[in-house]
Structure 1
């Protein structure tokens, strides 16, 4: 693949086919863990690692995996990689590991990961597949980050709550003062659905405006290559 192909794969994963706001996949972790930006981004980074490694391994082994048993083999590979990430979080980020809880092991059953290895990695070379896994993971992490920030700011009046689990001694940003009563619905499941709906609506609005501008300003037709030059 050339550089342009890699760019198209990356843009496809981050924006055009974003897992969270276009394909609407992985709603369980997206809605459950996005109560603040630190938890959301941490789970997103774990997903990036798993998707990148899973796509790379499966793309490299795709010609050796019998078609009839590909799904069980894919799940086995994903489960092994998730176990590695799970143990790494437990060893090096134990407090964050306790907060994320079951959602790291549940990456095994996340339809985002299995869908990408089946739709892309099983049919393409390792380089492009790795880029696809990273881009899809980044797209999901961006959705989680924005969703977590929205819910944390509105619900608690803070930003980066729990950052001390990643950077010892760091303090969260208090935006509205200690007397802010909070907005409980923002950090409850209904608030997650409302915030995600706003993100989906915002993305659709941007795309609708882009298409409207394209229709209003169509590209000028290019002149034939053999057209005679106009006299000076």
Structure 2
């Protein structure tokens, strides 16, 4: 399997937030600032990659009837690890993420990739898939946090861009998250549609060139004899 295609599939083509619309609870709850968005995204990426690798390794020994509980146990183990690390080394981020950090256990992005990909593919492909989906989730979550933080408080990663008096409080709250996310999804849909049309046009032009190349060319002598 093409590793680059697997990575881009998780990062762009089937982005967990912009395309699949997964993990909306964590997306809206932890994207009020760029820092919390990035922190949540990286924590989820760690759990995604590690759980994908372990589940891919154990897929042949996990009974089909208990695969979902087994997946959750694996995901819970890595979620506990990342929770303890964040609590020890980034207590401010731990407090900001709150309940959303342990809720990675039941994040449908992590469980979905385990069920649909890691349990059916090799270790290397599962690692790349987890990395692509995780970084795609992190990128969108951080970008959403940047927009909300700038529009809501006039800051970016805690640094003041303009006076908070010009900020709009609603963007820091959940309704503002819905608004910004909606515009991001709409922009992504427009870009993807244009890319699709461009690819179709290139394929059509290539087919026309092949058709013209395959057609026999009439020489001037043949044309004269025909007359």
Query: How far apart, in 1, do the equivalents of 2:28 and 2:92 lie?
Result: 21
CA-CA distance at 1:223 after TM superposition: 4.9
Higher helix share: 2
- The answer to whether the aligner puts 1:207 opposite 2:204 as a matched pair is no
SS in 1 for 2:22: coil
1:23 corresponds to which of 17, 20, 24: 20
Aligned length: 214
Q: TM-score, normalised by structure 2?
A: 0.89
Alpha-carbon RMSD across the aligned residues, in angstroms, is: 1.9
Who is 1:146 aligned against?
143
How far is 1:219 from its partner?
A: 3.6
User: Post-superposition shift, 1:180?
Assistant: 2.7
Larger radius of gyration: 2
Please give the TM-score of this superposition, normalised by the length of structure 1. Answer: 0.87
Partner residue of 1:116 out of 113, 122, 130: 113
What secondary structure, in the 3-state scheme, does the structure 2 residue paired with 1:69 have? helix
1:68-217 aligned at under 5 Å gives the runs 68-161=65-158, 172=159, 174-177=160-163, 180-217=165-202
Residue number in structure 1 paired with 2:55: 58
Deviations 1:84-126 (A, max 9, x none): 1101111111121111111110000101100000000000001
Gaps of 5+ in 1: 162-171
Deviations 1:146-181 (A, max 9, x none): 1000000100011002xxxxxxxxxx2x2113x634
SS in 2 for 1:220: helix
Q: Which structure 2 residue ranges, 5 or more long, are not aligned? A: 220-227
Deviation at 1:66, TM superposition (A): 0.5
